[in-house]
Amino acid sequence: MPSIAIIGAQWGDEGKGKITDFLSATADYVVRFQGGDNAGHTIHSKGQKYALHLLPSGALRDATINILGNGMVINPEALVEEIDMLQSLGKHPHIVISNRAHVIMPYHKLRDQKAEDTQNIGTTLKGIGPAYQDKAARVGLRMGTFVDEALFKAYLDQYYDTVKGHLNESKERLFETYQPYIEALKPRVKDTSVILAEAFKTNKRVVFEGAQGTMLDIEQGSYPYVTSSSPTAAGIPAGAGVAPKHVGQVLGIVKAYNSRVGEGPFVSEMEEEKAEIIREIAHEFGTTTGRPRRIGYLDLVALKHAHRINHFDAFAITLFDVLSAFDTLKLVTGYQLDGSVIDYVPAELETLEKCQPVFQEMPGFKEDISHLTDWNALPQAARNYLKAIEDITGVPVGMVSVGPDRRQTISMTKIF
């Protein structure tokens, strides 16, 4: 089956953008199926650095069709800016937007801010949660409605008072402000489910690109410190409008250590002085918000949880070169809870907060591996670390990334 899903196996920021970009070299379609511009993908290509938030990572390749699926929430202003940015750099991204995707409006951002005042989730303040709220409450604005002026007006007449929250702007003014975005996006809004059905019928190669990560999943993540969508493989059929059987291989993207932004329990969190070293080497600051990320040891308990939900065919380990800074390496293999060791992630925050990490410690590889392109050339200590991940989670490591550039990638098997 010519499709692959790229799924964050941790708390987001695993380096999915680079892997999607690497695999999309041979893809006909790259499809996002959830989230919005809360995501931030940095792609390095030919010495240039591109920060994408809404656009699928295939946007840098002119031959790839990039789909923003119905499960997404889209800020039109941010999307137009991103397309314009790529066009100004001489790129011609082929973008198609689902007519069923929901639209983020200024009042969603305001409501996000208001909710944060009391909830303190640490959201990206992009209006993601409130847009999904409106969707679930059946009062949301969809792209197909937005780009049709008569329908958009009728929507505002019917729902504006219900959804606007504290926004101090008339619906007429809002309508005016959005005219340029309607113009810019209208030709790209289509029924993407139909397009993808045709793609599968004609054996096209499709990459499903997850944003965020499994532990931020609204169903299976560390609720309530989660995003408002499903970034897991289970989110693909619903959010892309494809049948479940079209989801082929599932690749779990795993950063060689853990990081998270936002609040919530973080069992494997590292000592601050070590975290600081990683933050400096790997620039662990949010692409979307600029916030310093919290850093932890690689948590295999959380990875097993992610594997149970996603059934990964392989892992791609990213930022592996960063670990060469340390004399010893530690993996979290269990959680100590009330005198016994558990190997699952408790659902209740109160229980999770009581968990202490159980470590497996091993020698580090204190050498530069960022130029290596062959698995066999990796130092023994580096291979031992990867082998421990495979043995404990039961998932083979299919790829290792040793630097930000496309060429700094070691492939063990042909993945796609």
Task: Kindly list the catalytic residues.
Answer: 13, 41
What is the total count of residues that contact ligand IMP (CB under 6 A)? 20
Q: Which stretch binds ligand IMP (CB under 6 A): 160-168, 172-180, 224-232, 306-314?
A: 224-232
Return the number of the residue (211 or 309) whose C-beta is nearest ligand IMP: 211
Which string of x and - marks every residue 200-219 that binds ligand IMP (by CB under 6 A)? Answer: -----------xx---x---
Phi-psi domain of 283 (left: phi exceeds 0; alpha: psi -120 through 50; beta: other)? left
CA 407/CA 47 separation, integer angstroms: 12
**Does 121 contact ligand IMP by CB under 6 A?**
yes
Least Å from the CB of residue 118 to ligand IMP? 15
**Does 32 contact ligand IMP by CB under 6 A?**
no
CA 22/CA 17 separation, integer angstroms: 8
**Does 230 contact ligand IMP by CB under 6 A?**
no
Least Å from the CB of residue 253 to ligand IMP? 12
Which string of x and - marks every residue 37-76 that binds ligand IMP (by CB under 6 A)? Answer: -xxx------------------------------------
Asked if 398 and 249 count as a contact pair (C-beta separation under 8 A), the reply is: no
Least Å from the CB of residue 386 to ligand IMP? 24
Return the number of the residue (102 or 126) whose C-beta is nearest ligand IMP: 126
Least Å from the CB of residue 103 to ligand IMP? 16
Q: Which stretch binds ligand IMP (CB under 6 A): 126-134, 172-180, 190-198, 200-208?
A: 126-134
Of positions 222, 227, 333, 401, contacts ligand IMP by CB under 6 A: 227
Least Å from the CB of residue 343 to ligand IMP? 25
Three-class DSSP labels, 120-137: CCCCCCCCHHHHHHHHHC
**Does 231 contact ligand IMP by CB under 6 A?**
no
Return the number of the residue (115 or 388) whose C-beta is nearest ligand IMP: 115
**Does 296 contact ligand IMP by CB under 6 A?**
no
Q: Which stretch binds ligand IMP (CB under 6 A): 62-70, 86-94, 122-130, 196-204?
A: 122-130
Least Å from the CB of residue 199 to ligand IMP? 26
Pairing of strands 409-411, 397-401: antiparallel
Least Å from the CB of residue 202 to ligand IMP? 32
> Which residue has the CB atom at the shortest distance from ligand IMP?
262
**What does the binding site for ligand IMP look like in residue numbers (CB under 6 A)?**
12-13, 38-40, 121-124, 126, 128-129, 211-212, 216, 225, 227-228, 261-262
